[in-house]
Amino acid sequence: MSAGPDPRVGVVIGGVQKGGTTALDTVLRRHPTMRMTRRKEVHWFDNDANFAQAAPNYLAYHSFWRNALADGLRCDSTPSYLWWPSAAERLHAYNPSLRWIVLLRDPAERAFSHWNMIRGLGQDPLPFAQALDAEAARLATAPPLDRLRYSYASRGYYARQLTRLFGLFPREQVLVLRSDRLRDDFATTLDTVLDFLGLEPLRLDPASANEGNYDVPLAPADRARLVATYEADIRELERMLGWDLADWRR
């Protein structure tokens, strides 16, 4: 008797927050082969409570899909998986054949967008520069949810995070894209994604991105501070991916 289809998730949109993951998730929901969670960002592999026991309850994880046994490619869009230290290792233990899609955005702009989102939710009263000053102490002492919330600058060290990921998953299982390419050349970028997933090309209209309306732009001094902070990591990322990221270093 057939064991039926493999219920495991086959792909994660695993990074980065405020990098276009919602737009990509929205578009992939229109593809007839994709099976997406009922809601985006289930935060299962970055929730330490799910791994308190020796054997994680993957049935509980699969319940986020309407029909976990339906044919198709199951996808989990939780962009914090790239950043959360233990998430990639947990995902590898769950499915070593898993494929990753990672969208990278200018890290200074990403940090500012992240802060604007949290501020807009009424969850951070600090001005951006002060929030950056407070970040290390917050991450050292805050409960897990607040670490996800206040990790403005921390999430922008992409080379560090990809090094951890590439230590677990072969590079051919990881597709790394610039988020501005998804915005500026949507059709070509979507073709790249579908080819990576082994899916037939399909003409799909772009989805609206979650672009914030900022009261004030990123201050030049704050950008300069972040650019200096990320300088070495960006150069390592250029070496790692063969990209030219001069615009991120200005």
For position 70, what pLDDT does the model report?
A: 64
Residue 4 forms part of a structural domain: no
Residue 2 forms part of a structural domain: no
Residue 193 forms part of a structural domain: yes
- Is the Cβ–Cβ distance between 88 and 165 less than 8 Å? yes
Residue 169 forms part of a structural domain: yes
Residue 53 forms part of a structural domain: yes
What is the C-alpha separation between 239 and 37, in angstroms, rounded? 35
Residue 47 forms part of a structural domain: yes
Number of domains the chain contains: 1
Residue 5 forms part of a structural domain: no
- Is the Cβ–Cβ distance between 147 and 173 less than 8 Å? no
pLDDT string in tens for the chain (250-residue length)? 345 567 899 999 999 999 999 999 999 999 999 999 999 999 999 999 999 998 999 999 999 998 655 689 999 999 999 999 999 999 999 999 999 999 999 999 999 999 999 999 999 999 999 999 999 999 999 898 899 999 999 999 999 999 999 999 999 999 999 999 999 999 999 999 999 999 988 888 887 655 666 888 999 999 999 999 999 999 999 999 999 999 999 9
What is the C-alpha separation between 193 and 206, in angstroms, rounded? 13
Domain CATH code at residue 164: 3.40.50.300
Residue 66 forms part of a structural domain: yes
Tell me how far CA of residue 190 lies from CA of 14, 94, 110, in angstroms: 16, 27, 21
Supply the range of the domain harboring residue 55: 11-249
